[in-house]
Structures are given as C-alpha cells and as structure tokens.
Amino acid sequence: MSYASLGHAEPMHGLAMHGEPALSADFAHFPYVNPAVKKGGTINYGVVGTFDALNPFVLKGMRTSARGLWDPELGNLFYETLMTRSSDEAFTLYGLLAETAEWDDARSFVQFNLNPSARWHDGKPVTPEDVIFSFELLRDKGRPPFSSRLAAVAKMEKVGEHGVKFTFNEKANRETPLIFATATPILPKHAIDPEKFDKAGLDIPIGSGPYKIKALQPGDKITWERDPNYWGKDIPSKVGFDNYDEITVTYFLQENTLFEAFKKGAIDIYPEGDATHWQRAYDFPAATKGDVIKETFKPGLPSGMLGFVFNTRRPIFADQKVREALSTAFDFEWLNKTLYEGAFNRTQSYWQNSALGAYGNAADARELALLGQAKDRLSAEILAGTYTQSATDGSGTDRKALSKAVKLFAEAGYKIQGGKMVDGSGRQLAFEVMTQNEGQEKMALAFQRTLKLIGVEMGIRTVDDAQYQARSNSFDYDVIIKAYTSSLSPGAEQVNRWGSESRDANGSFNYAGVADPDIDRMIEALLQARSTEDFQAAVRAYDRLLVAGHYVVPLYHVGEQWVARWKHIGRPETQPLYGYQRATWFDARMQ
C-alpha cells in the first residue's frame, strides 16, 4: 500500500516541477562542481551602483542592498532557502536547510523536514518556528512577491521537532511548493525585531549561509569571509561551492571605471555584455600575455527579451496600435550595423531558441483550445509562428518601413501635420526614455533619430543608479529599457512581471503595467500544467499574447555568455545547462 493511499507522503530528497529529479537520493554532489577543490584564497567582484541597506526583502532597500545577501548569481552567501535549485535541470530542487520534503500528487500541501544540523551564525539551530516567522514577517513587512506568498496557504503548522507543513488553498498552483522551497529566505526569529525590520538600515544581521560580513564601507565595498563553522559545508548540494576564504564586492559609478579596475587586476572577473567591447577592448597587456582569459559559454537557455518597455499606465501607450507603430518605426538593422557591427540577432519571442517559444512553432490544437477566444486577437502570422519584427534595409531612412509605421499611427488617430506626429487635438506625440548607462543611452539615441523622421518627439533622461531604481519601483517613467530573462521552467515569477495583480504593486517587475485577463489565464495554465505537453502549449500561447501586445520593442539576444577572468581564478571543467556558475569557481593558486 502506498503512502499516498494512506493520506501520507514519502519524504523525498528532491522536488521536480515536471517529472522526477535527475539525481538519486544518494548523490554526492552536483555534476558541474569540482568536488576535490581546495578552499581558500580570495575573489574580487565589481558592480556598477551603490548600496544603502542590508535588507533586500523590503521595498526601501530593494535593489540598493549590498550584493551577496540575497544573490543567486554569487551563491546566496548569507541567507538560505529551504531547498536549492540545480542549474543542470529545468526546475528541480534538492535539500538545503530542509533535508527532505513531502507532498501529495495533487500538491495540496508540502512539508519541509529541516536538517537537524542547520545552524545560524550564532550557533543556534534553525527551527520550524524560524520558518513560520519568516513567512509571516515577509507577509507583513516584505516587498512583493514575498508579501503575497501566504495568500496561497490555508494552514501553516509545525510538525514534530523539525517539520513545517503548508496546506494550500485554491490560490495555490503546482509550482507553489517549489517557490516556497527556493524563493523565500529563512530568517532568524530570535535575532530580528519585527517592528524594525522594514527600516532597511546597515545593522549587521544574522544568517545561516556560508559567509559572514567582515567589513563594510557603505555605498563602496562589502567584504565577506567564509565561516569555518558553516553547518552545511558537507551536504551534497553545497559540495564544491563557497570556495573562497574572502569575497569582496566593490561598487563603481560607471562601467568604464569598473573595466579599468579589471584591467589593472583590482577586479578578478568581468562578465561582458557588449559585443563590440568584447571584440575590441581586450588588447591590454595582461590579456595579450595570457594573464587574462576570455571565455565563451553557450547555455541551453531561451533567448529572453531585452527591449524598450512601454509603460501602459501612461495614456499615450494605452493604445496597442501606438505601441505597434513605435515598434515598427524602430530601425534595428541600422542600430545593429552602426553600433554593433552586425553582431546581434533580433529577438522575435520571449522563449526563442527553445521548444517553449512561439516563434517557429505553429499553434496546435491543444494550444488553440487553451487560447479560446483569445486566438481571435492574434494575427495569422503569430498563430503560425512566422511573425517577425518589422525589418528595414539598414540605411537609417527606410521609407517603406517608416510608411508602414505612419499608417499604423493613422489607425490610432495620429497624422503628420507641420512635420509633427499629432493626435486629433493637435498635440504632438512626445515621451521620454529613462536610461541608466551609456550603452542604454546609445540605443535610445538610435530610436530617437528614427522617430524624429516621422515627427515623434522622444526625449532621453539618464539618471543615477539610486534614482533609476526608485523610479523603476514606483513606475515613474514613460519608457524604460529592461531585460526579461527566460528559463526552461517559467512559473510564478511571471505573475510579478505580467500579471494583473502586480500592475499597481510598487516594487513589482510589471514594468509595462499589463493587466490582461487572457494573459492571466495563460500564466495560470502554465502554473497548473501537469504534463510537459500542456506546459509547452501554455507557454507558447502566453508568448504569442505578449508578442501581440507590443508591450516591448524587442532588441537583441546573444545566445552566448562572455566572461573574462584573471588566470588565477579557476573553474570546474563541466558547465551546467543554465551556463557558467560563478559560485562554483575557485582560487587556482590554492590548488
């Protein structure tokens, strides 16, 4: 007789969104680490920006908190989650603070069984009370999406000495247990005053992670030191991670200054995002001598979406035709040729280069049934998977493309009068793009140049990091340039990006201000999908609706990850599905 038939669940070492975990219960380490690495040495990271808080979980400190506290890219040095994600599987979790987990086939509940060895930095055990406290505190004081997690819970309770059980209500979906496991930090109840939690100051907190704060220069630098007594250093999901004795993160005001510091050896790793810079900027002595190594990685990930995002909360962008007309006027071919030497491919889909993307894949019967009447909103080309963004001849003055844009403006009630694109009241179509660095400013200038040819007035305002984050959080902009990363397992994060409930929630990532019942339905469908086929159909349908909405003027994707590193920084030979993992790299001088 099975556990399920008795109303119980069997403790599991891993949870998978679809299918089963790839690694068995007795796995020793992830396949993309070097399990024999000798820990020690140092690493120096550089970032552009500043910080004024040590609490990344409240709105005041959002995006200006010091790097490393809650930072998957660096490996979550300080705070930990109940389980941790494998970078070699679409969406599978393995034990961290929780040694095992239990759920039923319907995923109506999940129970996390804490590792009895788990400890806070002050030596106190991590308890079920800490877990319950964390979820309640973040509900009451946290920023989105932490603040809404418990809305899906009917009951939260301690089970035995080490267990915490969440019983879900109708607001939960099949991804909810995995989000609880890996996207919510567990905080120490004994070391936090709830009344002061949302003040987002610089008091040194207590965590359970592998590093502690060694030194702090507010706004400029934070130094982390590895905790020799870290409780989890030998559990399978942490073998091969946390390899440096000391990690320093230095903040710079400009990207150029950061790169100069890297050239001099003050910064050890430089992730590159500019194709022209990658081709031309590495002729300095250390690179030509081989002391700096350039590497290209090819992750098995969808394209994602980088582009100009229209804030549809603004009346001028409420009309889809206006957004489509502006997108049509954008001369990507000229931009690519002039600024990037033709290095990039235009992005056509949010999940391009994967089976989840609509581009290149016609909607099948399963997907059409899912769309229902929403399919009538989509063009034949979008349904066939053949729709592409408007292209030009690359001359910068393609009359055919501009005429197409002008025609779309006319359908939205605009016309060119006296050299200006005006509405029925004679008001010129004018808006501003908010940028945060020189690279974004160059892209905006190219857009501005083209729009000027058809009488659209586009301003550009470049602001500092603090102002950019504050205005992003409060949606105080007309147009913004943003990147939407895509995984092979999109889920609840999509609500925070495109769901109606996040439209008016300050601090959410719904930068476009979308509130569309059909999009909400597709998000719910992908969250509730039980089979791979249903999941794929839901994501493709969702992709088609996003593309058809013209919420973003798509730019480009690379399909590669470019990283330069000083040769004393080593890495494992095997790289996972999701691309290189800096958290598994090490100081080669110690080997």
Residues pairing with 270 in the sheet: 564
- pLDDT for position 475: 97
- pLDDT for position 75: 82
Q: pLDDT digit string (tens) for 146-195?
A: 999 999 999 999 999 999 999 999 999 999 999 999 999 999 999 999 99
Over residues 558-585, the mean pLDDT reads: 94
- pLDDT for position 4: 38
What confidence category does residue 217 fall into, taking pLDDT thresholds of 50, 70 and 90?
very high
For the cut 60, the answer to whether the pLDDT of residue 511 exceeds it is yes
- pLDDT for position 7: 42
- pLDDT for position 2: 34
Cβ-based burial of 271 (10 A; exposed 0-12, middle 13-18, buried ≥19)? middle
- pLDDT for position 412: 97
Q: Which of 340 and 552 is assigned the larger pLDDT?
A: 552
254 to 396, 437, 469, 471, 473: CA distances (angstroms):
30, 8, 16, 19, 22
Contacts of residues 335-343 at CB distance under 8 Å and 24 or more positions apart, as own/partner, are 335/443, 335/446, 336/394, 336/556, 337/394, 338/396, 338/446, 339/276, 339/442, 339/443, 339/446, 340/275, 340/276, 340/556, 341/275, 341/276, 341/279, 343/275, 343/276, 343/279
- pLDDT for position 200: 67
Average pLDDT, the chain: 94
CA quadruple 297, 301, 307, 313: dihedral sign: negative
Six-digit token string for 13: 């070492």
305-557 has which fold? Dipeptide-binding Protein; domain 3 (3.10.105)
Which positions ≥6 away from 492 have C-beta within 8 Å? 145, 173, 175, 176, 179, 183, 527
Q: pLDDT digit string (tens) for 374-387?
A: 999 999 999 999 99
Place of tokens 């091969």: 240
- pLDDT for position 160: 97
Domain boundaries, the chain: 4-15+41-201+208-226, 254-300+560-590, 305-557
Same fold, 4-15+41-201+208-226 and 254-300+560-590: yes
Q: Measured between alpha carbons, how far is 152 from 112 in angstroms, rounded to an integer?
A: 17
Angle (nearest 5°) at CA 330 between 327 and 336: 130
Cβ-based burial of 234 (10 A; exposed 0-12, middle 13-18, buried ≥19)? exposed
Q: pLDDT digit string (tens) for 222-272?
A: 999 999 999 999 999 999 999 999 999 999 988 999 999 999 999 999 999
Over residues 127-156, the mean pLDDT reads: 95
Q: Which of 416 and 202 is assigned the larger pLDDT?
A: 416
Q: Is 1.25.40.10 the CATH number for 254-300+560-590?
A: no
Q: pLDDT digit string (tens) for 517-562?
A: 999 999 999 999 988 899 999 999 999 999 999 999 999 988 889 9
For the cut 80, the answer to whether the pLDDT of residue 63 exceeds it is no
Q: Indicate the length of the chain as a whole number.
A: 591
Q: pLDDT digit string (tens) for 378-412?
A: 999 999 999 999 999 999 999 999 999 999 999 99
Q: Which of 399 and 4 is assigned the larger pLDDT?
A: 399
Helical spans, DSSP H, in 212-274: 255-264
- pLDDT for position 403: 96
- CATH class of the domain comprising 4-15+41-201+208-226: alpha beta
Nearest alpha carbon to residue 567 among 240, 289, 280, 274: 289
- pLDDT for position 275: 81
